[in-house]
Structure 1
């Protein structure tokens, strides 16, 4: 469970970054259409690159989570983490609830709670899965030698056996040595 939480926390952090950058890019495009051209400022392109990069890495980590765990487990947890991270990002960066009446904020948060409760109720009777791989694959590390293929697989040739079936423990004179 801790591996899935780590992966989906990374997805949620990237999702909040995606939400922030998408809102910035869409706001700049809207402002360019309505009033003053914003596409000439470098911040638009920086936010556009951040938007694309965060989407790509978000999909990468989500794909890794679905490889390790069943999608019926990953999707509900991702929904909850994504929603919470998007709400927190909106509250912090765009002050969405600033000046809103208490009842509006309460109804919004209560709606999110009902959504989370619905996700929990739908997925509570799912059978638990065991981890297929005991590690999270972050890809190849440049310059690091791969040492994971030292031992032969159970389907490969055993030690001391040549591909033609002969034994590699024969002496120079052709006699077999007992190993």
Structure 2
């Protein structure tokens, strides 16, 4: 926990003070918060279950500490993930976040709750192989998606002689339809007529 908090503070310093907004920094912050979420959620759910089945646990201060940690870590995860989604493409953020989030959750469970203690080698191997297949599946699903393009809200005609242009505003056509010249003739017809004459 101390090592995790130390790494989080270092990354937060580089993110806030140095202005580093690299995807790895943002999603590592999300992953570190995710491991805190896993630890706190398991503690809260275990204490609630124990309160229902055996002895009341809701009177202990540790329950409320873990509940606050659970809520705070979820909120800040969403905050950093939203920053990453604004700066980078979804097809880049989703697979990297999935891998970082899952890895941090597994490591938190292994270290804090000793989930692999006494487990057979084959069980551990199958579990880790399943995680690898999950990572591979997310990568394959997201790699061929086209990049999102924002629709243009205006048509850029460039500079029109004799017209006052305002930035990013479509100029008034003054009753002219697209493809017509100021004298009323059709530009496509005039172009085809010129080609015939030549």
TM-score by length of 1: 0.69
Asked if 2 retains the 8 angstrom alpha-carbon contact of 1:17 and 1:54, the reply is yes
Q: How many angstroms does 1:37 deviate by?
A: 0.3
Q: How many angstroms does 1:13 deviate by?
A: 0.3
Alpha-carbon distance between aligned partners in 1 of 2:75 and 2:161, rounded to the nearest angstrom: 20
Larger proportion of helix: 2
- RCO higher in structure (CA 8 A, sep ≥6): 1
CA RMSD, Structure 1 to Structure 2 (Å): 11.8
Asked if 2 retains the 8 angstrom alpha-carbon contact of 1:28 and 1:39, the reply is yes
Cα distance, 1:60–1:156 mapped onto 2, change above 3 Å? farther
Alpha-carbon distance between aligned partners in 2 of 1:50 and 1:174, rounded to the nearest angstrom: 76
Asked if 2 retains the 8 angstrom alpha-carbon contact of 1:161 and 1:168, the reply is yes
Uncovered stretches (5+) of structure 1, i.e. residues with no partner: none
The answer for the alignment partner of 1:146 in structure 2 is 165
Asked if 2 retains the 8 angstrom alpha-carbon contact of 1:22 and 1:51, the reply is yes
* 1:18-74 deviation digits (Å, cap 9, x = unpaired): 000000000000000010000000000000000000011000000111111122211
Larger gyration radius, structure 1 or structure 2: 2
Q: How do 1:32-47 residues align onto structure 2 when only pairs under 5 Å count?
A: 32-47=51-66
Q: How many angstroms does 1:128 deviate by?
A: 7.7
Uncovered stretches (5+) of structure 2, i.e. residues with no partner: 1-19
Alpha-carbon distance between aligned partners in 1 of 2:133 and 2:27, rounded to the nearest angstrom: 21
